[in-house]
Structure 1
Amino acid sequence: MTATPSPQVDGRWRRRLARYAGPSTLLAVGVLLLFFDFGARVLATNDETRFPMLARDIVARGDWLLPRLGGLPHLNKPPLFAWLVALAAWPGGAVTQSSALWPSLVAAVGVLIATSWIGWRLWSREIGLAAGFIVLTTHGIFTLARAPMPDMMLCFVITAAMAAFVAAEFSGRRLSLAVFYVLLGVGFWTKGLAALLALAIVVVFSLHPARGWPVRRLALPAGLVLVSLMIAPWFVLGATSGGEQFVREIVMIDWVLWYLPVGHWRWRVITEPIGQTLSILLPWSPLLPFAVVSAVGMEAKTGVRKAALLLVWLGVVFVLVGASAQQRMRYYLPLCPPAALLIAVWYHQLTLRHRKVLGMTIAALVVAGLIVWQTADDARHNALTNLRALDPRTVKADTPIYAVDVPELVLAFYLDRPVVALHTDAASASDGRTPPIGYFAVADRVLPRWLDQRPVATIATGVVNGQGFSVLAPESLSRRQR
């Protein structure tokens, strides 16, 4: 005789299923969108291949503290992301085009989860799920998850730090402040001082006249000591290895002066940050102005400061990144979570019939559109790179390869051999210096100068990221190959 479940037990299972159905579905959609073309996209720039090359050096030499590029310690960025790429390659024993993507893809899933949690905690389950879907499908998260660069990891760390701050500020969990500061330290080891964006956000948010100076509420002295202890080893390591050059060229120039606004004022100072923001938030960026206006009105009515946190988060990142002299779309990636949350809150304030059906329809169209677009873009992008001109049938394995205005790290990554970058006018035949012996991958735009000044012959042609190049060899070497 089989016992039938009681209505109470059946009801509990139904509630549990209903509770986890939404998050499980969102996570499944996220995995589908992020992994459906796993490893299909060619890494076509030095920025995309830099950390995979550092990871290869770690795997080959076992030096985790000071991985090298071209035989020199790479001190421009802390090595955490290179560590993660190396760890992802460990099961297969080699850093490949596919294995190098794991840290960014997992970080993108982390951004989805952290954004959803913030929306769930501050408002509701529905807003959290909507925000998670929106942030996943922004142009920035969707595309940069496919690039083995530290920007996605930094975005995840900043978003997770903001989630820890939300737990401390709105749930009274003071221990979460310690988690916040630890995540700042992790962010520094990911991409240097850019991690302090999260600290700037919470300090500005806490500057409220009615609540007093934020030093005590944020436990700033203890927090800054904790962060300092976490980041000090990197400065000691860099100063020990690079000496005065590390302080002057890396810390001052690459980390500080590189981003400070310099030069004459131009309209691009205003238009470029706006354009980058609109681009990275597509297809949702047209809705952001409505969401911001709605959030301002909500804050004026309620004063509970939930919407204010998102507005400050969005504003601080936009102002600080927009004021930088260096403008890259990926620098604006930390805008995606607060923008997604604002849009989700605005959408759920609208009075709409059949909201659920409309939302599911929009989501299905967005998912289908992104898959079709990404598949086509992968094919278009991959067609812009062809390195067969440098395969072993063309260039000898025991002869050096030099790159002139061609991404040398891309060549080194796919050829799995050293490639030395040369200046455009290096070893000119007219300057008295002896040109190095080897093969030269020379960008077509500077090729005429090289053909005029050197006794070389063109033996093959190729293309990297749409940039044509020719493979040149000294005439003596090309005659031996014949």
Structure 2
Amino acid sequence: MKSLRNSIRQSNRRSTFISIAIIFLWLAATAGFRRFTAPDEGRYAGVALEMIRSGDWLVPRLDGLPFFHKPPLFYWIGAASMSVFGVSEWPARLPSVLGATLAASALLMFARRWADGVSASVATVVLLTMPFFYVGAQFANLDMLVAGCIAATVLAAAHAALAKEHGGAWRRALALAFATAALGVLAKGLIGFVLPGAIFLAWCLVTGRFRAAWMLAWWPGWCIFLAMAAPWFVAMQVRYPAFYDYFVVTQHFRRFAAAGFNNAHPFWFYGPVIVGLTLPWIGWIGWQAVARRHSGHTSAATTASAAFSDVDWLMLVWFIVIVVFFSLPKSKLIGYVLPALPPLAWFIARALRATTPTRWMTSPKLQWTTGVAAVICVASVIVADRLGTPPGARLYLPAEERIAADDQVVMLDAYYYEIPFYWKLKHTVMVVSDWQDPALPLHDNWRNELSDAGRFEPARAATTLVNREDLPRVLCMPKRTWIVGSSASFLTSPWLLDQRFVPVAHNQEAAIWRFDGPQRPSAGCVAFGKPARPSTGDAS
């Protein structure tokens, strides 16, 4: 008997391992298919690349300056991945692929244990073939990584509560919940713990599990959480005394409450976003609602499927907390609600079962929907490649041009996040703008990011963030300079019309010039004149 139990346990482990491998391969298959979408992917991949280039894996850096918009987990994984697999899009997106794999695997294992294997498999397939989830898994930013951590935390904590009720082992699952919460905090800050904690607490209250709510106070879990999450934050506060105010107060509370940031949308913004980006699967919930309204009677199977279980309540609370939380602030990005997709996939699977109560796993409707959804997923990657950053907006360095290790790169009134990555630059670039502009902190753009970063290391910023009046000092050094700016930069910087500034490449958005420089330092090597006031909009 013991041998039989061991055999079943080994078989289950093998099945779980194979399932996770398939999940990962499906999500990773096209992760290297397209180039980066500017500016977000270039920004986050560039910070990870900076860790490799500088050897400083403790402080995230944007163009050599401390970048504390977000914690370091994404950058650590991306840097480690690129160190192993080389500098390209696929390893740079691996943190997002792993986050999605974690979310889907956690949903599969939890539902297998506390629902049934068929529902678990269908819900996982639905999640994996949602275009919203699939493309999010292959986008190099922090949203999918923290979504995976939140999903794993919620499901591990719920598993611990249910297991304890049934007299099973629960401490390992609860320890895992605290560990993944710590990873969530290292991925994107306080929401990595606050959101799954709020979901778990609300579920306990809704289902009358008042004692289970006290599991949030489990002291061994807090020891695990603090041991994993605290060291980096403490190290940054010790090294940069202004870190707490900037990272916690500004990036969490001020950004959540303020209305002056980009991407302002109405409260209902995520409704159409979720519906539109989860087609065709979301249609099954609508079909279920229509079927209920037009049905003259309710079958026993439908009644059974309609009864809410503990798992259903967990998924409902989970979905509502995520959507409402991110709908409250004025600033909204599409990827913020990625943590709401696993519970949505569960309810879509539930709707499928309600509308196809017999042999629903082999239903042609399910198979056709899966096939169409999978095709849309792959097509969405192609569309994202074309529309994310239009081909005419990409800036390529001609094959015959080579940037030497001691060349300097100067960007005029713009910061092109993807260029350090694609040009494989060994040094930081110098960015020319009006860095003394008193209105600079009022705008949520690239200048604000770099200016904020420069405040943590003013000496380094003085050599990286160049005011326009200091441009002669930069260009008149005896070294080659590559200048990147908008295609109309010569209107605000007429010295670019000097024949010594050789146009190298241009497109509808940007241009590159090469300046070979004087033989020796000379303050008057170029007739700069008085520049016109430049535009300070976002580079994309």
Q: Place the TM-score, normalised by the shorter chain, in its bin.
A: 0.7 to 0.9
Tell me, yes or no, if the aligned pair for 1:46 and 1:408 is still in contact at 8 Å. Answer: yes
User: Shift in Å at residue 306 of structure 1?
Assistant: 2.3
Stretch of structure 1 that moved more, 138-147 or 35-44: 35-44
Which contiguous aligned blocks of 4+ residues in structure 1 show a shift greater than 6 angstroms? 18-26, 290-295, 297-301, 474-477
Instruction: State how far apart, in whole Å, the 2-side matches of 1:177 and 1:220 are.
Output: 9
Matched AA of 1:422: V
* 1:416 aligned to which of 424, 429, 451: 424
User: Shift in Å at residue 348 of structure 1?
Assistant: 0.9
Q: Taking CA–CA contacts closer than 8 Å with sequence separation of 6 or more, which of the two structures ends up with the larger relative contact order? A: 2
| Alignment-derived partner of residue 378 in structure 2 | 371
Q: Does 1:447 align with 2:489?
A: yes
Instruction: State how far apart, in whole Å, the 1-side matches of 2:12 and 2:471 are.
Output: 72
After TM superposition, the score normalised by the length of structure 2 is 0.72
Alignment of 1:83-482 (within 5 A): 83-92=76-85, 94-172=86-164, 173-175=169-171, 176-196=173-193, 197-208=195-206, 210-212=208-210, 215-219=213-217, 223-224=221-222, 226-244=224-242, 246-262=243-259, 268-288=265-285, 302=307, 304-351=309-356, 355=360, 356-358=362-364, 359-375=366-382, 377-378=384-385, 383-384=391-392, 386-389=394-397, 393=401, 398-404=406-412, 406-417=414-425, 418=427, 420=429, 422=431, 425=434, 433-435=470-472, 436-437=474-475, 438-444=481-487, 447=489, 449-452=491-494, 459-463=503-507, 468-472=509-513
Instruction: State how far apart, in whole Å, the 2-side matches of 1:161 and 1:242 are.
Output: 30
User: Shift in Å at residue 377 of structure 1?
Assistant: 4.7
Matched AA of 1:403: M
Tell me, yes or no, if the aligned pair for 2:24 and 2:98 is still in contact at 8 Å. Answer: no
Instruction: State how far apart, in whole Å, the 2-side matches of 1:302 and 1:42 are.
Output: 46
| Alignment-derived partner of residue 44 in structure 1 | 37
User: Shift in Å at residue 66 of structure 1?
Assistant: 2.3
Give the total of aligned pairs.
Answer: 458
Give secondary structure in 1 for the equivalent of 2:140.
Answer: coil
Tell me, yes or no, if the aligned pair for 1:52 and 1:85 is still in contact at 8 Å. Answer: yes
Deviations 1:190-218 (A, max 9, x none): 22112021111111212248444765244
* Cα pair distance change 1:473/1:59, threshold 3 Å: closer
Instruction: State how far apart, in whole Å, the 2-side matches of 1:127 and 1:39 are.
Output: 32
Q: Which runs of 5+ in 2 are unaligned?
A: 293-301, 438-466, 476-480, 519-524, 527-540
Deviations 1:111-138 (A, max 9, x none): 2211222332332111111111111112
Matched AA of 1:251: V
Instruction: State how far apart, in whole Å, the 1-side matches of 2:330 and 2:282 are.
Output: 23
* Cα pair distance change 1:407/1:143, threshold 3 Å: farther
Matched AA of 1:410: E
Stretch of structure 1 that moved more, 282-291 or 301-310: 282-291
Matched AA of 1:362: T
User: Shift in Å at residue 413 of structure 1?
Assistant: 0.6
Give secondary structure in 1 for the equivalent of 2:37.
Answer: coil
Output the aligned Cα RMSD.
Answer: 4.2
Matched AA of 2:51: I
Tell me, yes or no, if the aligned pair for 1:88 and 1:100 is still in contact at 8 Å. Answer: yes
Instruction: State how far apart, in whole Å, the 1-side matches of 2:163 and 2:123 are.
Output: 20
| Alignment-derived partner of residue 73 in structure 1 | 66
Matched AA of 2:431: L
Deviations 1:29-58 (A, max 9, x none): 645542333422112324213343333333
* Cα pair distance change 1:194/1:281, threshold 3 Å: farther
Instruction: State how far apart, in whole Å, the 2-side matches of 1:189 and 1:102 are.
Output: 16
| Alignment-derived partner of residue 7 in structure 1 | none
Give secondary structure in 1 for the equivalent of 2:256.
Answer: coil
Deviations 1:407-447 (A, max 9, x none): 4330111111145363655799x985544414332124x63
Stretch of structure 1 that moved more, 199-208 or 221-230: 221-230
Give secondary structure in 2 for the equivalent of 1:339.
Answer: helix
After TM superposition, the score normalised by the length of structure 1 is 0.80
User: Shift in Å at residue 406 of structure 1?
Assistant: 4.5
Instruction: State how far apart, in whole Å, the 1-side matches of 2:81 and 2:512 are.
Output: 34
Stretch of structure 1 that moved more, 194-203 or 374-383: 374-383
Give secondary structure in 2 for the equivalent of 1:90.
Answer: helix
Instruction: State how far apart, in whole Å, the 2-side matches of 1:210 and 1:239 are.
Output: 41
